């Protein structure tokens, strides 16, 4: 096969994968390849996969299968991300169509792997090298108004249901100076908002600085209007970070703080290292610092051994916190994790019922949160076009999508009054129009 001219990177799962996908695309672009357009066959396809829930591997293999073309040919295929890390050599045994298997800590080596694959040599690289892949990636150039910046990877928490400590490795923090350099590049390239990413982003530390220190430093950049961070772990929610929510205006009033369950025995079995009371205390401190903060969470229903009464406690914590947004999942046994072999696995039908009840309750709170913003005047960052001509969509400080009629381009900050709330988005009107009415 000749060297590929065009590529497509498809990312699944979390924001870290979105970030890694962007960096892989930039890396391939720096090799002289070009991103394939919509509907165009790419010479190289990178499937940047997610392994967090069941059937992830099966889904990845069926996605690979669908890349076969009608004429019997196929693109060069790289399996990347967490399924690649977990499957390793096995991936090439299960699908002969895969030319490269590259883990999340090894994708800086993609150019060499692609050259080898074009010459007919398949390769597997799931090393977790000590030297940072980031040093081997090209500088950031152009950026949309809202950029992701990975500052921390991996997890040492070992929640008993979770594969992340195995697929992403131990917690590591990128050095302060490297992050600052990348933030400068993103800001110069057009970013107005930066979201700092990490599996345990609030465990980040470098050169005696913690995440609050990093946020305060980035807030001094004139071009940057907004700073966000995700995902945080309750035990790393330190006083300094909470104080930053009170003191740094550019730090947006939004906190994603997964709780998983509202029952202490379940939290203990999950090895979550926080209790219901300690979690609620943290939420109270955060709200004291920033009363309007939007709290979002992750939940798992049907963890092995979870009783009806324990599940009810999860509904209680939902009512206590009044989440503005949430992700909720049925427990999914992951091979190799301690929970997968625990007794009392909960039947699917019970999990289905619990999930439906939980999601209905979460929807009540998110709807109430959105309705409460109607009538407020706030600033939005336009990040894309709306469905109808003349419409744009922007993000509120609380991460809500706001639809507004305006000729202002993507990247503008607009002051709007929220005029209505739908199930998935809000409607806003530009301030001058509101004043004129
Ligand atoms: N089953 C169900 N949900 C899971 N999560 C992580 N592992 C599992 C699993 N085995 C959820 C958690 C986590 C989110 C990213 O995915 O809620 O916070
Ligand atoms: Fe997984 Fe728990 Fe680590 Fe989050 S904190 S990545 S849920 S092990």
Q: Measured in angstroms, how far is the CA atom of residue 334 from the centroid of ligand 1?
A: 10
pTM of the entire predicted model? 0.93
Residue 216: what are its φ and ψ, rounded to 5°?
-60, -40
Q: Measured in angstroms, how far is the CA atom of residue 38 from the centroid of ligand 1?
A: 32
What's the CA gap between 83 and 159, in Å, rounded? 19
The b/e string for 280-294 (b: 16+ C-beta within 10 A; e otherwise) is bebbeebbebbeebb
Average pLDDT estimate for 65-88? 94
pLDDT tens for each residue of 23-44: 999 999 999 999 999 989 999 9
What's the CA gap between 305 and 311, in Å, rounded? 10
Q: Measured in angstroms, how far is the CA atom of residue 159 from the centroid of ligand 2?
A: 5
In this prediction, residue 1 carries a pLDDT of 65
**Under 8 Å between Cβ of 383 and 146:** yes
In this prediction, residue 289 carries a pLDDT of 98
Q: Measured in angstroms, how far is the CA atom of residue 155 from the centroid of ligand 1?
A: 13
The two tokens of residue 387 are: 């469905």
Q: Mean pLDDT of all residues in the chain?
A: 94
In this prediction, residue 108 carries a pLDDT of 94
- Mapping DSSP to helix (H, G, I), strand (E, B) and coil, where does residue 297 land? strand
Question: Does residue 437 surpass a pLDDT of 50?
Answer: no
- Mapping DSSP to helix (H, G, I), strand (E, B) and coil, where does residue 260 land? strand
In this prediction, residue 130 carries a pLDDT of 66
Average pLDDT estimate for 110-116? 95
Shortest-distance atom of ligand 2 to CA 199: 6
pLDDT tens for each residue of 237-275: 999 999 999 999 999 999 999 999 999 999 999 999 999
Verify whether ligand 1 is closer than 6 Å to residue 331 (CB atom).
Answer: yes
Shortest-distance atom of ligand 1 to CA 260: 17
What sign has the CA pseudo-torsion 264, 267, 271, 277? negative
Question: Does residue 431 surpass a pLDDT of 80?
Answer: no
- Output the DSSP codes for 58-91: HHHHHHHHTT--TTS---EEEEEHHHHHHHTTHH
In this prediction, residue 31 carries a pLDDT of 94
Verify whether ligand 2 is closer than 6 Å to residue 157 (CB atom).
Answer: yes
**Under 8 Å between Cβ of 333 and 339:** yes
Question: Does residue 103 surpass a pLDDT of 50?
Answer: yes
**Under 8 Å between Cβ of 390 and 404:** no
Q: Give the model's confidence band at 228: pLDDT under 50 very low, under 70 low, under 90 confident, else very high.
A: very high
In this prediction, residue 436 carries a pLDDT of 41
Q: Measured in angstroms, how far is the CA atom of residue 298 from the centroid of ligand 1?
A: 8
What's the CA gap between 250 and 374, in Å, rounded? 22
Nearest residue (by CA) to ligand 1, atom 16, is 52
In this prediction, residue 201 carries a pLDDT of 97
What's the CA gap between 27 and 83, in Å, rounded? 21
Pocket test for ligand 1, best of 300, 330, 331 (most atoms within 8 A of CB): 300
Q: Give the model's confidence band at 435: pLDDT under 50 very low, under 70 low, under 90 confident, else very high.
A: very low
Verify whether ligand 1 is closer than 6 Å to residue 213 (CB atom).
Answer: no
Domains of the chain: 6-131 (3.40.50.12160), 139-372 (3.80.30.20), 377-430 (2.40.50.140)
Shortest-distance atom of ligand 1 to CA 337: 10
């Amino acid at each position: 096969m000749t060297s590929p001219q065009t590529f497509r990177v498809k990312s699944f799962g979390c924001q870290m994968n979105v970030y890694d996908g962007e960096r892989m695309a930039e890396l391939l672009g720096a090799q002289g390849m070009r991103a394939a357009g919509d509907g165009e066959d790419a010479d190289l396809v990178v499937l940047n996969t997610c392994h967090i829930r069941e059937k992830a591997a099966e889904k990845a293999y069926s996605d690979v299968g669908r890349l076969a073309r009608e004429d019997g040919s196929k693109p060069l295929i790289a399996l990347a991300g967490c399924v690649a890390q977990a499957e390793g050599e096995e991936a090439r045994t299960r699908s002969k169509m895969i030319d490269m298997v590259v883990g999340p800590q090894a994708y800086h080596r993609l150019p060499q792997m692609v050259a080898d694959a074009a010459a007919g040599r398949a390769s597997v690289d799931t090393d977790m090298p000590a030297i940072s892949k980031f040093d081997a990636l090209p500088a950031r150039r152009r950026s949309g108004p809202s950029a992701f910046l990975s500052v921390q990877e991996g997890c040492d928490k070992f929640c008993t249901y979770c594969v992340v400590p195995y697929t992403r490795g131990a917690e590591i923090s990128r050095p302060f100076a490297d992050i600052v350099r990348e933030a400068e590049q993103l800001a110069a390239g057009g970013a107005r908002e930066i979201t700092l990413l990490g599996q345990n982003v609030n465990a980040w530390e470098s050169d005696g600085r913690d995440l609050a220190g990093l946020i305060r430093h980035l807030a001094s950049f004139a071009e940057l209007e907004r700073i966000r961070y995700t995902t945080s772990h309750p035990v790393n929610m330190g006083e300094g970070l909470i104080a930053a929510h009170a003191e740094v205006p550019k730090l947006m009033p939004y906190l994603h703080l997964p709780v998983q369950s509202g029952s202490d025995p379940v939290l203990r079995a999950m090895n979550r290292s926080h209790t219901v009371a300690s979690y609620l205390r943290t939420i109270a401190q955060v709200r004291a610092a920033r009363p309007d903060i939007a709290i979002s969470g992750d939940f798992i229903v049907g963890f092995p051994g979870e009783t009806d009464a324990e599940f009810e406690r999860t509904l209680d914590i939902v009512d206590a916190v009044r989440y503005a947004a949430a992700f909720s999942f049925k427990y999914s046994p992951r091979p190799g994790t301690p929970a997968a072999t625990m007794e009392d696995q909960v039947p699917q039908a019970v999990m289905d019922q619990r999930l439906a009840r939980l999601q209905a309750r979460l929807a009540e709170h998110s709807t109430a949160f959105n309705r409460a913003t109607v009538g407020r005047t706030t600033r939005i960052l336009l990040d894309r076009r709306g469905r109808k001509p003349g419409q744009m969509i922007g993000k509120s400080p609380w991460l809500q999508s706001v639809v507004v009629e305006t000729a202002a381009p993507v990247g503008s900050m607009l002051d709007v009054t929220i005029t209505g709330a739908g199930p998935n988005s809000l409607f806003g009107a530009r301030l001058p129009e509101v004043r004129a009415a």
